[in-house]
Structure 1
Amino acid sequence: MIQQQIKGVIFDLDGTLVSSELDFQLIKAQVGCPRDLDLLDFISQLPSPYMRQEAMNIVHQHEMLDAHNAQLMPGVAKCLEQLTLMQIPMAIVTRNFGRAAKLKLSQCNVPISLMLTRDDAPAKPNPSGLLHIAKQWHFTPNHCMYVGDYLYDIQAAHNAKMRSCLYAPHEIPHYASQAHHILHSFDDLPQLIKAFG
């Protein structure tokens, strides 16, 4: 089987390009979301607009606090520099909300201007954000790679028919086998993309 060339790379934000200390179990407890349910799905199904707004306010407070403490992940700056030299277009699709995500980009000096947050497109694992970026680049999805650190990232890539790359710098999670690639260090990403050249 001939591997498709990777022409563009889309990244997740939290836990991938920048650090995140969001405690989702604490947030779920504060909004009354059961531990095993997706937080955003739970909030979207609350019975009144007021309850949805109150719950989102709590989430926003946590996300803004997290944004103020965010730091660039190891090896990211050099990796993005190399991908720029390789003329690989880059974008970000995050489940975070716009204000917090933009603060993280400016605080950590992430040189990627094209970003979709949950304010712009349905949250992952819905593939809409990823497909929107591919369309903007005029690439077919199979020429794009999505890099993220969580199951939703792998699922979003599969749903978009893109190559999935799981960033797992420490432990390998049980769902890692679902990803096309596992990235232990950002130092390895440019070589991985070159291998598809």
Structure 2
Amino acid sequence: MPAALFIPRALLFLTHPRSFSSTPKMSISSSVNSVTPRLRGVVFDMDGTLTVPVIDFQAMYKQVLGQDMYEAIKLKSPSGIDILHHIETWDADKQRKAYEIIADFERQGLERLQIMPGASELCGFLDSRKIRRGLITRNVKSAVDLFHQRFGILFSPALSREFRPYKPDPGPLLHICSTWEMEPNEVMMIGDSLKDDVACGKRAGAFTCLLDETGRYAAPEYAAVEHKPDYTVSSLAEVISLLETKFDLAP
């Protein structure tokens, strides 16, 4: 597995003061700093963000964990279940069976792979402004390769599950910042998961944008989660306006 390389000065940006709001529609956070922040790079999640959700994660979690363990873990973790970290604590034979189940769900998902509405337009906008774009997913490299091939939109770096540590650890995002020679507070993480994408971005010190198409994260059980997004949008189409109005996009 490749090792994440960090710029020491990036550690200075593991936290930075910002306040935020979260609603089903695009929400704009307020900041104690009146200076418009500069944005030089955007990092995307893949499943459910760049691609239409096709994997039934609840069914997958139940099959891997069993109904009782699934219910117990869900009760303790309102923002979502980190199935990969649970599997890592199991013995080798149990891990192998779990990964076989996950791989089967992922293969079925690849057969129905569709690009998310607004993704192509957003990537074209980023290219026009010379803003770098990367990808971090907990899916496998073959899924990333298929996305690149099928839709002709390339992300670099594109870090899959084979890269360790994976989200919600900030390591993958800090690795991309290091590769781009950018500070984390010049980068935005966009994804549809509070527990993976938003947590990864906040821990790295990046801006975060939650894609919440249905408004599910406005439910009361998510009010007390540790990591909340700086911005929330209901579609990728809203991100262009968000970037234009809230950030300095000059090269």
| Contact 1:92-1:116 at 8 Å conserved across structures | yes
| Contact 1:127-1:160 at 8 Å conserved across structures | yes
Please give the alpha-carbon distance, in whole angstroms, between the structure 2 residues aligned to 1:29 and 1:163. 33
Q: How far apart are 1:75 and its partner, in Å?
A: 1.1
Q: How far apart are 1:141 and its partner, in Å?
A: 0.4
In structure 2, the gaps of 5 or more residues are: 1-32, 75-80
Please give the alpha-carbon distance, in whole angstroms, between the structure 1 residues aligned to 2:124 and 2:199. 27
> Within the alignment, does 1:181 sit opposite 2:231 as a pair?
yes
Q: Which has the higher contact order (CA 8 A, sep 6+)?
A: 2
Q: Deviations over 1:67-120 (max 9, x none)?
A: 221101111111111110110000000111212232233233333242001201
TM-score, normalised by the number of residues in structure 2: 0.73
Q: Which stretch has the larger CA shift, 92-101 or 138-147?
A: 92-101
Please give the alpha-carbon distance, in whole angstroms, between the structure 2 residues aligned to 1:32 and 1:84. 42
Which of structure 1's runs of 4+ aligned residues deviate more than 4 A? none
TM-score, normalised by the number of residues in structure 1: 0.91
Q: Residue 41 of structure 2 corresponds to which residue in structure 1?
A: 8
Structure of higher CA gyration radius? 2
Which of 94, 99, 120 aligns to 1:51? It is 94
1:60/1:94 Cα in 2 relative to 1: closer, same or farther (>3 Å)?
Answer: same
Q: Which stretch has the larger CA shift, 49-58 or 147-156?
A: 49-58
Paired residues, what number? Answer: 196
Q: Deviations over 1:106-161 (max 9, x none)?
A: 23333324200120122211111000001000000000000001112111111000
Matching residue's letter, 2:87: I
1:24-43 pair list within 5 angstroms:
24-33=57-66, 34-35=69-70, 36=74, 37-43=81-87
Matching residue's letter, 1:30: Q
Please give the alpha-carbon distance, in whole angstroms, between the structure 2 residues aligned to 1:26 and 1:145. 31
1:126-165 pair list within 5 angstroms:
126-151=169-194, 152-165=196-209
> Within the alignment, does 1:196 sit opposite 2:250 as a pair?
no
Which of 61, 65, 74 aligns to 2:104? It is 61
In structure 1, the gaps of 5 or more residues are: none
| Contact 1:4-1:196 at 8 Å conserved across structures | yes
Instruction: Say which SS state the counterpart of residue 50 (structure 2) adopts.
Output: coil
Please give the alpha-carbon distance, in whole angstroms, between the structure 2 residues aligned to 1:191 and 1:26. 36
Give the alignment's Cα RMSD to 1 decimal. 1.8
